[in-house]
Chains A and B, each alone.
Chain A
Amino acid sequence: MTARARLVLFLVAAVVFAGFFTAACAHLPPFGTPDHPYGDRAVAAALARRTANVVSAVNFDVRAFDTLGEESILFGTVLGATLLLRRAHDERHRRAEAERVMPTTRLFGTLLLPIALVVGVYVVAHGQLSPGGGFQGGVVLATALHLAYVAADYRALKKLRPLAVLDVADSLAAASYTLIGLAGLIAGSAFLENVLPLGTFNTMTSGGTVPVLNAAVGVEVACGLITLLAHFLSQAVELTDTDRRENGDG
């Protein structure tokens, strides 16, 4: 396709999209008003199931099946990246070297790493109560661990990161979401139906299956992202081409 044809195609598509988008936006409720038709319904549904965090109630109860899809996308992404970034036969393994870090950076990392890990666990554990949840807490946990790479070096990160365990935990957490869903079927209800006791509002055990699904997603996201970054890091730090090595500039 020539550049001209591409431009014409883009302009036509852009005009059509702009027309429909403007028409759709004209029917939206005005910005910043106290009237929230969707919000009111979501809050009512969340309160009925005794889940304090409405977003978690939507993600893990009302639309738990959507979240299963999202979780599977992440799992598939990690799986695909693992497959593509595996060591090729013409790549050599190279030992990562110890690196010098500024003392202030080291101190900053050493202090912040445990705090960040605790914050991550807190965000996952309180997903049904306060803003955040499995995905957010998992991302915080995964990024927090890499403070070890910033504050020390790659070897310190490797010591902190049992990759085989994380791989298995990632798969188990991904599978457990479906298993919890099947528990609904076994209990004589629908797939991913909230069948556990709902508990007392605004306590750690409230919300029925919401905190359980939330924890499954938290473990899956944390382990998946650490595994994903591990493969990117090993490609950049550990693996080198054979011919580069032979030339002595690897």
Chain B
Amino acid sequence: MNEWLVGAAVAFVVLAATVAVLTRDPTRQAVVLSVLGLGLAILFAVLQAPDVALSQLGVGTALTPLMILLTVRKVTRQPTRASRDADRHDGAEGREQG
């Protein structure tokens, strides 16, 4: 019984981790990471490490995705007038360099 639980938890973790690697959008990645954290917490609990499961649940499922979401929210901003002007004037060069 226990081996089946471990196997199912490992399979879930591998699946979630693969999806996390294949996801490109950071916002979606945060959500997938949260699911992966939940899977790891279940895996640790099944492997009789409840304290590791507890920290995994807090850090991996709540804290890290929240920090990623907050960072994404801060970093993605609407283009300002100054940067739009710059784009219009030397957009071609800027794109080549960028």
* A131 CB within 8 Å of chain B: yes
Flag whether B3 is at the interface (Cβ < 8 A). Answer: yes
Instruction: List A residues 98-123 near B (Cβ within 8 Å).
Output: 123
Are B54 and A123 touching (Cβ within 8 A)?
yes
Chain A residues, Cβ within 8 Å of B50: 131-132
Question: Is chain A's binding surface mostly helix, strand, loop or mixed?
Answer: helix
Binding site of B, secondary structure by majority: helix, strand, loop or mixed? helix
Number of A-B residue pairs, CB cutoff 8 Å, is: 58
B80, CB-defined interface residue at 8 Å:
yes
Chain A, interface size: which category? 20 to 34
Q: A55-B51, A131-B51, A235-B74 are in contact. Are A136 and B80 (CB under 8 A)?
A: no
Q: Given A139-B58, A229-B63, A243-B82, is A132 in contact with B71 using a C-beta cutoff of 8 Å?
A: no
| Chain B residue at smallest Cβ distance from A232 | B70
Residues of A with C-beta under 8 A to B82: 243
Q: Which residues of A contact B77 (CB under 8 A)?
A: 241, 244
Q: Which residues of A contact B (CB under 8 A)?
A: 32, 53, 55, 123, 131-133, 135-136, 139-140, 142-143, 146, 225, 228-229, 232-233, 235-236, 241, 243-244, 247, 249
Query: Can you list 14 A-B pairs with a CB-CB distance of less than 8 A?
Result: A131-B51, A132-B50, A133-B51, A136-B55, A143-B58, A146-B62, A229-B63, A232-B67, A235-B74, A236-B70, A236-B71, A236-B73, A241-B77, A247-B81
